[in-house]
Structure 1
Amino acid sequence: MTVLVLCVAFVWFLKQVQVAFFSDLSPIPNAHFTVPLSRLWILHKRWKNRQNRARLAAHQKLGPVVRIGPRELSVNCIDDGVRTIYGSAFDKDAWYAKAFRGHEKPYMFTMISSKAHAERKRMFANVYSKSYIQKSSRWSEMAYTIISGRLRDEMISWADSDIVVDVLERSKACLMDLTSAWIFGLKHGTNFIQNVKEAEEFFTPFRRTFGGFFWRTLEQTLSMELLDHMVAGHDATGITVTYLLYEISQRSSLQRRLKIEIQAHWKIGQKNCAEQLEKLPLLDAVLMETLRLYSANLGPWPRVAPSSIRLGKFSNIPKGTIISASSYALHKNDKVFPCPEKWLPERWLDASETQRKEMMRWFWAFGSGSRMCIGSHLAIYSKSPVSCASSGVLSANAVQT
């Protein structure tokens, strides 16, 4: 028995050595000297919440394809990189099911299979499409009611008083109102902007309270899907809106320019008011730069190679290799985004057609491919009126670090 155990252990050891030093991954530079043999380095970075910084540093030093584990790679390039991984039928890594475990029924974001995801996505794609939102009179109505009828009055009262406001929580409340109104209708949506106590009671035990309500009233699959949409709609978007409000609060001249642009070209509540937002280049620049620097979905988002593939200059990446990219690193490419750590909306206004095209190639706030964020257009059109409402209202004293 002892001999058998030793033989098995020896075979396992030889296999690890082969994967570490003699596989098709061995020519790829290592983020740390231990990664060919162990995942401890990247796991430690994740535990310390420093994964994205560590990966970015590795890419800056070693290049666009870096090994971060025995069978795991980090990628920071578009061609032979992001387009290969996220533009084809790569399944998600099992990490998704583990990270978002606790629910019997899978929902779109946690589905491992690309085929299952595509089938589910078809059910919702139309109502989240750009053309549908632009032509929707319901969106115009809810934007007018929530932004002009609720949020703007609240923001004016904040600016006129000395009260301390948790902008992150109020941003999430606003986005929850918009998201719930879009999903369930304005009449059945939340009003957390005005009902602060109700919002606090809802968000504090969020998963327990919200989940319990839905499990009692809707089928399990539908309830989990809508829960996912609600979480994504208010949480990630609310974080980005908070950064946006902070940045424009520091720049009174930018607020004045935004106000002039908005008053000249856009009126909330008008027919096709979502479509009119695209005629506001300064607002677009502010949104794009905020999403670039303060993306709430930093990643990384792991995928599994379905067959032998090429990444960058490395060919024969074996089937089963876990590969991922992150918007955090992609958006820090100083060749595409000079001074990447600075919030500079002007980069989008001053860019030539060629430069803007290149920036859009590297822009990854919502992912890409068939599994990119289904609510990306709703998120953009939700952020825009909040920015409009805040123009001329905020000051540096309104949003503090």
Structure 2
Amino acid sequence: MATSLSLLVSLWPVVIGLWVLYTISVAIHRRYFHPLSSIPGPSFNAISYLPILYQQGILEGQLLHALERWHAQYGPIIRISPNEIHLSSPEYYETIYSNALKTGFYKDPAFYGPMEGPIKVPVMLTIISNEQHRVRRMGMNPFFSRKSVLGLEQIVRDKTEKLIGMAEQNLSRKGGEFDAHRATRALTVDIITEYAYAKSWNYMDLPDWGEGYQEAIRAVQTFFPWLQTFPSLLPVFGLVPDWVMVKLYPHFGKWFGSLEVVQQSVAEVKREIALGIKPARRTIFHELLDPEPVETEKNLAPRQKLPDAVVFADAVNVTGAGVETTGATICRALYEVLDSPEIAQKLREELKTALPDPFDVQAMSLIELEKLPYLTGVIKETLRLSPGVPGHLPRVVPSSGATFEGYTLTPGTVVSMSAWSMHHNTELFPDPDKFDPTRWTDPDVDAVHAREKSLVSFGRGTRNCIGQNLAMCELYYSVASVIRRWDDLKVHSDFGREDVKLVEFLLSYHPKKARKLRLVRT
């Protein structure tokens, strides 16, 4: 026994030495002999995945800003990890993303797989196959179509009116202020749950505006960089009991509560379907559990029925994805408009012409709001500076290979682009950090078209954001209502431009130290 132990101890230096030699040999291969070795970029990125983890996990969501710095230093194509390159030129977006069904680029399993969590239930976001995604999405496309949004526009109208009423109560008091940060997130929760579930969660009625739900969604996403770098942690993560998670992070209580509500809704709709009960209005659960045939060019085609676990996961995903993204964009629009007296005055003048009564939210309609050029410019410019998913979205080069910026990429190489890089392209958007709605009202039609083609806040192609029609409706209503209602509204003095800086964990957020947007009257 003693001999075996001493032998084991004596072998440790050999084991460590072999590990060091192996690590050095891998690093040398990746840096000098890998197919991507000729592509410029930070040296350490070429040999390790740790720089990405450092930006995303340690610095918390700073990769989009690092990419901007690296492109400025190394050019339009950079190597950001041993097997991934990042492109900044908008011309490649169509090939990699918009036309992926034809070109064959597909989502990187190493990036999207861990987002499914330990249960490994693929939601629309994480399905790797473009064709499988197309079939799955076909079931929900009609539910979130422009036609459906216009048909249920009254939901957005009523919830926005409620928001304005609550803001009025707060602002009418002496020294009163309106917590726009939490209120807009509560607004988006109440809209998406009423729209998708036919049963609003009524977060606007809660004293804390349901803040725990949004904070829990953010907390879940902060795990992604660690699980993407160390996927073996996934099973361990799944073993942690819910009560331990709540103990460590109390906001998870609101998150787990929301999951129970969704599970109950799935069970309730299944019971109604079994009993043949016709709903007053079909919900997202009806669309997934009991889909109606979809009309094609030739006939009615049957749609895919999904297992309960998939229905549950997709419903949770749709709700969570539409809260922080839209709420943050509304806040950014309000900040940018109210921070500039010139922009605020110009927008108010346009709104006063279209909406004579500042108190009448019910008189608004999306179709009429969309006809207002300056309001549309404000919303597009906000989406440029505050996209819901600003960071890199990795895709895998198909078997045919690909060539970008003169470099040939072998099949299996990971390539990515980001909305943040495209939206800060100085050729298309001079002085890109400036908020300028006139970029979208420019008389140069060709210039505006080029900018619109590079505006990918919701993505583009068959894998774009399914909820963009609803999100745009919310943006138009909320921004128009708030700016039209008060002529003397301003941003609280403790909030500044440093507080709108973006970080990302797939979805966009603000740094933890950022202050929350509050509005006051002068």
TM class by shorter-chain length?
0.7 to 0.9
Please name the residue that 1:145 is paired with.
Answer: 158
1:58 aligns with 2:70: yes
Partner of 1:169: 182
Cα distance in 1 for partners of 2:209, 2:72 equals 47
Work out the number of aligned pairs and report it: 391
Residues 293 and 201 of structure 1, relative CA distance in 2, 3 Å threshold: closer
Q: Paired residue for 1:38?
A: 48
Partner of residue 132, structure 2: 116
More divergent stretch after superposition (280-289 vs 52-61): 52-61
> Shift of the alpha carbon at 1:231?
0.9
Cα shift at 1:355? 0.8
1:320 to 392, 404, 412: 412
Are the equivalent residues in 2 in contact too, given 1:36–1:69 (CA < 8 A)? Answer: yes
Q: How does 1:195-210 map to 2 (within 5 A)?
A: 195-197=206-208, 199-200=210-211, 204=251, 205-210=253-258
Counterpart residue type for residue 117 of structure 2:
R
Quick one: distance in 1 between partners of 2:178 and 2:354? 30
TM-score when scaled to structure 1? 0.88
What residue number does 1:82 align with? Answer: 93
Deviation at 1:252, TM superposition (A): 4.1
Show the 5 A alignment for 1:2-401.
17-30=28-41, 32-47=42-57, 48-49=59-60, 50-79=62-91, 81-86=92-97, 87-88=99-100, 89-93=104-108, 94-134=110-150, 136=151, 138-139=152-153, 141-148=154-161, 150-161=162-173, 162-185=175-198, 188-197=199-208, 199-200=210-211, 204=251, 205-218=253-266, 219-265=308-354, 268-269=361-362, 273-350=365-442, 352-392=444-484, 393=486, 395-398=489-492, 400-401=494-495
3-state DSSP of counterpart to 2:35: coil
Larger radius of gyration: 2
- Letter matched to residue 36 of structure 1: A
Query: 1:237: how far off?
Result: 0.7
Give per-residue Cα distances to partners, 1:211-233, cap 9 Å, x unaligned.
12223442322121111111112
SS at match of 2:408: strand
Cα deviation for residue 43 of structure 1 reads 2.5
Cα distance in 2 between the residues matched to 1:320 and 1:200: 41
Gapped runs of 5+ residues in structure 2? Answer: 1-10, 215-250, 267-307, 496-522
Please, which moves more after superposition, 66-75 or 214-223? 214-223
The 1:195–1:10 alpha-carbon spacing in structure 2 relative to 1, beyond 3 Å, is: closer
- Residue 189 of structure 1 and its aligned partner are, at CA, apart by 1.6
In the superposition, relative to structure 1, how do residues 340 and 6 fare at CA in structure 2: closer, same or farther (>3 Å)? Answer: same
- 2: CA distance, partners of 1:368 / 1:343: 23
Change (3 A) 1:268 1:17: same
Per the TM alignment, residue 26 of structure 1 is displaced from its structure 2 partner at its CA by: 2.3
Tell me which moved more, 230-239 or 309-318: 309-318
Q: 1: CA distance between counterparts of 2:474 and 2:398?
A: 37
Superposition CA RMSD, Å: 2.9
In the TM superposition, residue 269 of structure 1 has moved relative to its aligned partner by: 4.2
Structure 1 residue 78 displacement after superposition: 2.3
Letter in 1 for 2:259: G
SS for the counterpart of 2:370 is helix
* 2:86 match: secondary structure: strand
Mapped contact 1:265–1:279 kept (Cα < 8 A) = no
How far apart are 1:281 and its partner, in Å?
Answer: 0.7
The residue type paired with residue 254 of structure 2 is F
Name the SS for the 2:44 alignment partner: coil
Shift of 1:263: 4.1
| Preserved CA contact (<8 Å) 2:424 2:432 | yes
Rounded to whole Å, the distance in 1 between the matches of 2:416 and 2:80 is: 10
Give SS of 1:222's match: helix
- 1:377 & 1:296 partners in 2: Cα distance? 14
Asked if 2 retains the 8 angstrom alpha-carbon contact of 1:176 and 1:234, the reply is yes
Give, in whole Å, the separation in 1 of the partners of 2:212 and 2:459: 33
SS at structure 2 position matched to 1:239: helix
Kindly tell me: are residues 399 and 360 of structure 1, through their superposed partners in 2, closer, same or farther at Cα, counting changes over 3 Å? farther
Residues 51-108 of structure 1: per-residue CA shift (max 9 Å, x gap): 11111111122222111122111111122x2222112132211221213414442211
Give the gaps of 5 or more residues in structure 1. none
CA change 1:353–1:101 in 2 (3 A) is: same
TM-score w.r.t. the length of structure 2 is: 0.68
The percentage of aligned residue pairs carrying the same residue is: 24
Q: C-alpha offsets along residues 253-273 of structure 1, whole Å, 9 cap, x if unaligned?
A: 4334333323433685469x2
Q: Residue 65 of structure 1 contacts residue 311 of structure 1 at CA under 8 Å; is this kept in 2?
A: no
SS of the equivalent of 1:346 reads: helix
Q: Distance in 1 between matches of 2:351 and 2:122?
A: 42
Query: How many angstroms does 1:277 deviate by?
Result: 2.4
Report the alpha carbon displacement of residue 310 of structure 1 after superposing the two structures with TM.
3.0
Structure 2 contact 369–476 (Cα < 8 Å) conserved: yes
Check whether the contact 2:399–2:411 (CA below 8 A) recurs between aligned residues.
yes
Retained in 2: the 8 A contact 1:133–1:378?
Answer: yes
Report how far residue 129 of structure 1 moved. 2.1
In 1, Cα distance between equivalents of 2:181 and 2:493: 10
Q: Which residue identity does 2:126 align to in structure 1? A: T
Aligned equivalents of 1:214 and 1:399: distance in 2? 40
Asked if the contact 2:401/2:410 (under 8 Å) is kept, the reply is yes
How far did residue 182 of structure 1 move?
1.4
